[in-house]
Structure 1
Amino acid sequence: MPESYKGGRKKWVASLAKSIQMQHQSLEDLNRPGRPDTPMRTEALIDCWFSLGLYHHWQEEGEVARADWFQAVSLSQAYIERDLPTLTSEDAPCYVRVAKKAALAAALSGQEPLARTYFSYTERFSTGLVTGHEERPADPGAVLDSMGIHPLSRVYSLIRLGRLSGFHGLIFPDANSDEAVWSQTDIHGLLATAEHCLAIGRREGHVVFATETRLIPLLRALVAVLEGRETAEAAHKALVTYERSIRDMSDFRRIYPVVLDLKAAFPTVFTA
C-alpha cells in the first residue's frame, strides 16, 4: 500500500477495490446505447481507462494496464486531432488536461515517441498557443490559473522534452506584483510563476491542490540534476518524498503516474 495512505492497509484495499468497481460501472454507463457522444463523455472515458491502468499496474497486471492506457491514448488522440484544425488560442488551455493524460498514458504504455508528441501539445496548449508559432497567447488569464495547473503542466512537459531554456512564457517578473508579462524565460522562471499562481489562489480563497504544491520541490530537484548543479541522490530523495505524500485515492491518481513516468524517463537519475 502507499506508505502514508490514511486508514492503513485495510482502507487502501477497500478503496482500491471500490475504485476499480466504480470505473467499470462508469464505462458501462458511458457506453450505453444512445448515450450522446459529447466531449464530456470522451473525457470521462479517457479518465476511466487511464485510472484503470494505474490500478492494474499497482496490482502488477502489466499487460492489462498497458491495454487500458492504449485505450486512453486512442481516445485522446481522436479527441485532440479532431479539434486541432479549428482550435483557437483562447480555447487551447481547455485541452491541457487531456493532452497531458495522453502523453502520460502513451509513455506508460511504452509509446515514448507518441508521448513526446503529446507532451509537445501539452506544452503549447498550457501556454495558450495552438501551433507554437503565435506571437503570444491571446488570453493570459486562461493560462495563469490560480491552481497552478497550466504553468506546472508546461514545466513538466518541457522537462520531459529536454527543454530547460530558450523560450518565451507568461511570467511574473516581480514577486510582489500580479502583473504578468510575455518574456524570454527559462524553466526557473516558469517554476517561480507556478508558485506565484498558487500564492494568488490561496490569497483569493481558491482551491489549491496539495499534489501541485508537492510537485514543485521534485521538479526543482530534477532540474538541478539535469543542469549539473546537484547529484542524482537529491532528486531521488525528492521523488521518494513525493511518492510518500499519497494519502488518499485522489492523491494516488495524480502522484502515481508522475512517479512511474519520471522513473522510466530518467532512469539514471531516479535509481534505487
Structure 2
Amino acid sequence: MRTAGLVECWFSLGLYHHWQGEEEVAQTEWVQAASLAQNYIEGDLPTLTCEDAPNYARLARKASLAAALSGQASLARTFFSYTERFSTGLVTGHEERPVDPGAVLDSMALLPIYRVYSLIRLGRLSGFHGLIFPDANSDEAVWARTDIHGLMATVEHCLAIGRREGYKVFVSETKLIPLLRVLVAVLEGRGASEEARKALITCERGIRDMADFRRIYPVVLDLKAAFPVVFTA
C-alpha cells in the first residue's frame, strides 16, 4: 500500500508539472514512479499467485503510463504486458484460465478496461482468450477465444451490471470506450483518423474534476505519443 501510494503520488505530480509546462520536472517524476513500481512488482513476481494478480493490475497500469510518458518505451511495453495479464487474473499468461473470474469482472469494469487498453497499446487486437459474456441476457462469463471487440463488449456488460447495482455512469463509459472503439477501427483499417482525433478531443474535454484529470489526461498524452499518425497528423 505504501509503495502504491508513492507511485500514485509521483505519477500525479508528473501530470501536474506537465500541465504547468515543466516538462523536465515531470519526466523525472514519471521515471521515479516507474522505477518504484518496477522494483515492487518484479520483486513480488516470483511468488505472485493468480489469486493475487488482480491486486497488482492498477499499479502495473500506472507504471506502464509513467514509463511511456517518460520515454521508456521498452519498460512501458513490459508493464503493459504485466497489466494485461494481471487484469485477467493471470501471472505468466500461460495459465489455462483465471482462477476467480469474479475477481477480474468488477462492476466498474476497471480491470477489463485496463486489459483492453493494454492490448491496444501492445498491438494485439485478436488471437487471445478472455472472459466474455456469450449471452447478453446472462451474467455468467466464460473463458473463450475472443478479440478486442469481444473484450469491449465484456466491459460494457460489466458496466451494465454496475448500473443494476446502483453505480453511476462513469466518464470511462461515455468518453474512453467510444475513443478506444474509434481507435480500433482506425487500426483495423475501417475508420478515419479524423474521427479518432474528434473522439480524443471529446474525451479530453470530458475532464470535470481532479479524478477525471488523473484518469483521462495521461491517456490523452499517451495515445498522442503512441499513435502520432492517428492523433497528431
TM-score, normalisation: structure 1: 0.84
Does the 8 Å CA contact 1:147/1:207 hold for their aligned counterparts? no
Q: Higher relative CO (CA 8 A, sep ≥ 6), structure 1 or 2?
A: 1
Aligned-partner residue type, residue 54 of structure 2: P
Structure 1 contact 147–208 (Cα < 8 Å) conserved: no
Give unmatched runs, 5+ long, in structure 2.
none
Q: Secondary structure at the match of 2:139?
A: coil
Identity of aligned residues (%): 79
Return the alpha-carbon distance in structure 2 between the equivalents of residues 213 and 200 of structure 1: 16
Q: CA deviation at 1:205?
A: 1.6
- For residue 209 of structure 1, report the CA deviation from its aligned partner: 3.1
SS in 2 for 1:110: coil
More displaced 10-residue stretch of structure 1: 81-90 or 155-164:
81-90
Within 5 Å, give how 1:98-113 maps onto structure 2: 98-113=59-74
Q: CA RMSD in A?
A: 1.0
2:76 is matched with 115
Deviation at 1:131, TM superposition (A): 0.3
Figure out how many residues of one structure are paired with residues of the other and give that number. 233
How far apart are the structure 2 equivalents of 1:263 and 1:247?
21
Q: 205-214 vs 48-57, which deviates more? A: 205-214
Runs of 4+ in 1 over 4 A off after TM superposition: none
Tell me what 1:176 maps to: 137
Q: Output one character per residue of 1:32-67: Cα deviation in whole Å (capped at 9) or x when no partner.
A: xxxxxxxx1111111100000000001111100000
1:5 corresponds to: none
TM-score under structure 2 normalisation? 0.98
Residue type of the alignment partner of 2:204: E
Q: How does 1:1-272 map to 2 (within 5 A)?
A: 40-206=1-167, 209-271=170-232
**Which has the greater radius of gyration?**
1
Give, in whole Å, the separation in 2 of the partners of 1:164 and 1:42: 32
Aligned equivalents of 1:213 and 1:122: distance in 2?
A: 23
Residue aligning to 1:34: none
Q: Which runs of no fewer than 5 residues in structure 1 stay unpaired?
A: 1-39
How much does 1:210 deviate? 2.2
**Partners of 2:34 and 2:63 within 8 A in 1:** yes
Question: Using the alignment, how far apart are the partners of 1:57 and 1:148 within structure 2?
Answer: 28
Go from structure 1 to structure 2 and tell me whether the alpha carbon gap of 1:208 and 1:81 turns closer, same or farther (over 3 Å shift): farther
Three-state SS of the structure 2 residue aligned to 1:167 is strand
